Amino acid sequence: MGLEIKIPAVGESITEVTIAKWLKADGDTVKRDEVIAELESDKATFELPAEADGVLKIRVAEGETIGIGTVIADIGGDGAASNGAAPAAAAPAAAAPAADPISKGEENPQASNQSGYGGSQAGSADTATPAAAPAAGEAASGGASVEMKIPAVGESITEVTVAKWLKEDGAQVQRDEIIAELESDKATFELPAEGTGTLRHAAKEGETIGIGATIARIEGGSGASAAPAPAASAPAPAQNAPAAAPAASASTSYATGTPSPAAGKILGEKGINPNEVQGSGRDGRITKEDAQNAQVKPAAPAPAAAPAKAAPAQQAAPAASGNRNVRRERMSNLRKTVARRLVSVKNETAMLTTFNEVNMQPIMDLRNKFKDKFKEKHSVGLGFMSFFTKAVCVALKEWPAVNAQIDGTDIVYNDFCDISIAVSAPKGLVVPVIRNAEELSFDGIEKEIQRLAGLARDNKLTIEQMTGGTFTITNGGVFGSMMSTPIINAPQSAILGMHNIVQRPIAENGQVVIRPMMYLALSYDHRIIDGRESVSFLVRVKELLEDPTRLLLGV
């Protein structure tokens, strides 16, 4: 009985996927870990690897949507036996000359499995040559190679981007030496070498690959670089053979110009021919984002009459002077995730913002009086953020709905305050979390903020340090913002926005005086927080900040 291939769990909230494309045909011989299909959910596209060697039997058709855990294929037979005998593999190949060369068409499955590391052997019909090439490569390398795969870096992360190779292809590396930086939609990770030897890249910088995919190999011994030499000379006799045609077409994959199901639907609604869209996905595949960004080309103007040919030259606009350079950069996974989540919050919550202002003079006086002694005792400066964090924690205890969140049809109330602090990092906005901030002292909060901000600047924040907050504070005032309507950090229900401090005239005890004033903005989800609660929460924060002794006395 064959091995059943089931749809794996690809994300916490994903319950079904679509078979976007079968990369292997029914009846093809596949190798373990070879990608056999592309699965598409409402959030991302995933690759499905084979779980064993053998013959693929497809159960579910392309384009069909199925649930997690459903069996979509079987892998049966002895994969080693079907692939190992060269005469047996050559016979059916000779009997079927009319086979489609694009449907994974090398007659010898072993030859296709060697492309990329043992030289270009995909086009050779000589079954003996590919079998000999790996043996020669192993002999030259002086030892077995270590295949490095992308490790699991988080519960909901299914793919990463090779942000930077720290070691070049062919470089000598030591075990546990950092060879690359990987970037997900949430954080940046370092990839250590799993062995000692010569590094061979299997993915390019900027390429996005799935968890479990091979990113590199480490070949044993310093002489491993000589391994490709015998294999490189092997295909020479077959260059003039008819089998060379499929090899030449390998640069243009079957996926090139093919839209995913979601992309095809969008293009159809827009009336755009897929041939007019440049795909940015795997092997040139047209993704959902490509389809959304595609524009209908204007119709070609009718040819003008002969006497009017000189008119465009006479009416042409003057050529623009100066630099007209345009740069295009790939959007990072972090930036794509931030964009997607912000749009989702705007669309899925009843977001509303209420404002108030606070007189910062009492806090400034207190800071000026004790900041030197505070730093001398605690080795950290006394900033505004600790006052705001303490005031927020007190107000959250009094108005628990602001510290709650919606989970389906339930409201989840938190009896603790995990305060997320928005930080502008080099690669984008990140939100590290201060755990149990209600239990920390002023110096404890300042030290934790300093520690998390340093990790953010160095791109060393972990996923655990950025998830699980119950309320967020963001400070646009450090950049000069006077007023804003911050967007809620889902799945939280509220966010407090701080702004710049400006000397403004206000009425105080019947007289007009100049005071350092700051506008505060509380954005909240009106589905769970009523107007009375939101306004009362912000007024309570204002009272605590304008009389900071309340924070010290707990009143």
Which DSSP string corresponds to 229-278?
A: HHHHHTTGGGTTSTTHHHHHGGGS-TTTTPBPHHHHHHHHHHT--GGGS-
**Claim to verify: residue 418 and residue 276 sit in the same structural domain:** no
Please check whether residue 320 lies inside any domain of the structure: no
Question: Which of residues 192, 220, 248 is at a domain's end?
Answer: 220
Give the CATH number for residue 181: 2.40.50.100
| 356-398 per-position pLDDT tens digit | 999 999 999 999 999 999 999 999 999 999 999 999 999 999 9
Please check whether residue 501 lies inside any domain of the structure: yes
Question: Which of residues 270, 291, 312 is at a domain's end?
Answer: 291
- Closest listed residue to residue 38, CA positions, set 231, 263, 327: 263
Mean pLDDT of 61-85: 72
**Claim to verify: residue 424 and residue 474 sit in the same structural domain:** yes
**Claim to verify: residue 276 and residue 424 sit in the same structural domain:** no
Please check whether residue 303 lies inside any domain of the structure: no
Please check whether residue 169 lies inside any domain of the structure: yes
**Claim to verify: residue 271 and residue 151 sit in the same structural domain:** no
**Claim to verify: residue 510 and residue 369 sit in the same structural domain:** yes
Annotated active-site positions, please? 526, 530
**Claim to verify: residue 352 and residue 489 sit in the same structural domain:** yes
Question: Which of residues 220, 245, 273 is at a domain's end?
Answer: 220
Candidate from 195-199, 244-248, 295-299 with smallest mean pLDDT: 244-248
Give the CATH number for residue 516: 3.30.559.10
**Claim to verify: residue 388 and residue 270 sit in the same structural domain:** no
**Claim to verify: residue 216 and residue 346 sit in the same structural domain:** no
- In this predicted structure, the answer to whether residue 479 has a pLDDT above a threshold of 60 is yes
Give the CATH number for residue 278: 4.10.320.10
Q: Which domain holds residue 149?
A: 144-220
CA trace torsion 444, 452, 457, 427 (10° rounding):
-140
Task: Output the pTM of the full model.
Answer: 0.50
Max avg pLDDT among 108-117, 170-179, 249-258: 170-179
**Claim to verify: residue 351 and residue 431 sit in the same structural domain:** yes
Please check whether residue 519 lies inside any domain of the structure: yes
**Claim to verify: residue 408 and residue 506 sit in the same structural domain:** yes
Number of domains the chain is built from: 3
**Claim to verify: residue 354 and residue 446 sit in the same structural domain:** yes
| 451-462 per-position pLDDT tens digit | 998 898 888 888
Please check whether residue 363 lies inside any domain of the structure: yes
| 182-192 per-position pLDDT tens digit | 888 777 778 89
Which sign, positive or negative, has the C-alpha torsion 245, 247, 248, 249? positive
Mean pLDDT of 6-10: 84
Contact yes or no for 511/493 (Cβ under 8 A): no
**Claim to verify: residue 173 and residue 275 sit in the same structural domain:** no
- Please give the Cα distance from 168 to 298 (Å, whole number): 46
- In this predicted structure, the answer to whether residue 92 has a pLDDT above a threshold of 50 is no
HEC string of 39-85 equals EECCCCEEEEECCCCEEEEECCCCCCEEECCCEEEEEECCHHHHHHC
